[in-house]
Amino acid sequence: MKTIFKISWRNVWRNKARSLVIILAIGFGLWGGIFATAFLNGVIQQMFDSGIKSHVSHIQIHHPEYDQERLTELYVDGYDEVEQFLSESDEVVAFSSRTIASGMFNTASMVSGVEVIGIDPTQEKLTTDLKAHLVEGEYFNGEFAHPVLIGKQLADKVKVDPGSRIVLTFQNMEGDITSAAFRVAGIYRTANSGIDERNVYIMRNEMEELLGSNGIVNEMAILLNHHDDSGEFREKLQQAFPEHEIRIWSEIAPELSFMTEFSGIAMLVLVIIILFAMAFGLLNTMLMTIFERTNELGVLMSVGMNKGRVFLMIMYETCFLVVTGAVLGGVLGVITVMLTGSSGIDLTSLGGEVLMEYGIDTIVFPTLDRIFYLNLSLLVLVTAVAASVYPAWKALKLNPAEAVRKE
């Protein structure tokens, strides 16, 4: 067996130019495949994280009829009991209780429809990355008596800056129109321009004053340790509070669930395409090698090398080519993903504004799980063995007497 290994390895380098071409082709093909997969995974993961951390969270609690009507008077009754339950749950990282009303955003020169969201700044800061997305101004720092946070998209549309005076108008709990003046404390920018243009944030206590009622919570957003815990924790919440509607992130934003499923399918398809191309390239190369070495193989079989050893020799040669190329591509791929994953890839020049409309940040961080590299290694080995079987079988079909006479 050891002798066959040595012979096979030497045979690989008998035609150095051809072997190097196939090794480099395999290496650079895998390198490109690993990087493309990491880039795609980075985009999908970023879109998912942005959706979860911007507003959706892992679980939301509403009044049973709230999602159909979106009316402020449809609020979570007894939300303080729910808050107590969440505070005592180990699965919960943070939660935010929100008061929501559809209204109008008024400046001296323009009016825009918005969703006014009353928040507790401390709760929201822990639950979402709203504060981290501030690009101008401050996060409810107390400088203004009635602060409001607005998105960059909306700020550009209505032409306001931090410190600008705006008026918010919406219905109170009695159905009457109420208005109040606010000062823009800060401007945030997320990867979702739709949220930036639609959502404005004020202090929940100030919003309850304008509504004319306390304890109005239309939405409770819950952030868990991991999104995989959502279904199990939802069941616990539903048992404790059966009167409320409790939905997990995949029900609130089905597009996020689709993206995670699409990511896995897309990566699998990409890897399969690369491995198929690699397999056909190997098959062609090894068949050519056998054709060129017909005389040599005939001599080996004539002097006593049995067909099993000939079969193994061809398989080993194929596997050596694949493994050498795969190691080259794998090392380059890991290094590339590590470097770009830490520094990010700036897509601003490719149309950053358009990308953000689809929830894609202009800086993408390619990433791959370790399990991907393990699965890829196994698939490469399977491909190598599969691609070597036919050429090795062809070698066995040679007639030694006829093969030794071929030049």
Confidence of residue 52 (pLDDT cuts 50, 70, 90): confident
Q: How many CA atoms lie within 13 A of 286 on its CB side?
A: 31
Confidence of residue 123 (pLDDT cuts 50, 70, 90): very high
Which residues, at least 6 apart from 87, have a Cβ–Cβ distance to it below 8 Å? none
Give yes or no for residue 137 having a pLDDT over 70: yes
The per-residue pLDDT for 389 is 79
Output the six-digit token pair for 199: 């959502």
Mean pLDDT of 265-287: 80
For residue 150, the cross-strand partners are: 187, 200
Q: What is the DSSP letter of 56?
A: I
Confidence of residue 350 (pLDDT cuts 50, 70, 90): low
Mean pLDDT of 36-61: 85
The per-residue pLDDT for 217 is 93
> Please, what is the angle between helix 16-51 and helix 254-292, to 10°?
180
Write down the number of H helices and E strands in the chain: 16, 12
Stronger pLDDT, 222 or 261, i.e. the higher one: 222
Share of the chain above pLDDT 90, in %: 29
Confidence of residue 299 (pLDDT cuts 50, 70, 90): low
**Residue 234: C-alpha distances to residues 217, 226, 359 (Å):** 19, 13, 26
Sign of the C-alpha dihedral computed for residues 27, 33, 37 and 38 taken in this order: positive
Confidence of residue 218 (pLDDT cuts 50, 70, 90): very high
The predicted-structure confidence for 67-76, as pLDDT tens digits, reads as follows 888 888 999 9
The per-residue pLDDT for 304 is 62
Mean pLDDT of 229-237: 92
Q: State the Cα angle at 27 between 21 and 33, rounded to 5°.
A: 130
The per-residue pLDDT for 132 is 85
Mean pLDDT of 355-359: 60
Confidence of residue 256 (pLDDT cuts 50, 70, 90): confident
Burial of 339 (0-12, 13-18, 19+ CB in 10 A): exposed
d(CA 342, CA 359): 21
Output the six-digit token pair for 255: 């597009």
Q: What is the DSSP letter of 108?
A: S
d(CA 91, CA 248): 14
The per-residue pLDDT for 117 is 94
Stronger pLDDT, 374 or 168, i.e. the higher one: 168
| Widest CA span in the chain | 103
Confidence of residue 215 (pLDDT cuts 50, 70, 90): confident
> Please, what is the angle between helix 16-51 and helix 307-343, to 10°?
40
The per-residue pLDDT for 245 is 94
CA-nearest of 49, 31, 41 to 264 is 41
How far is C-alpha 39 from the geometric centre of its chain's CA atoms?
9
The per-residue pLDDT for 59 is 94
- Domain coordinates of the chain in residue numbers? 2-52+257-403, 64-243
Stronger pLDDT, 310 or 126, i.e. the higher one: 126
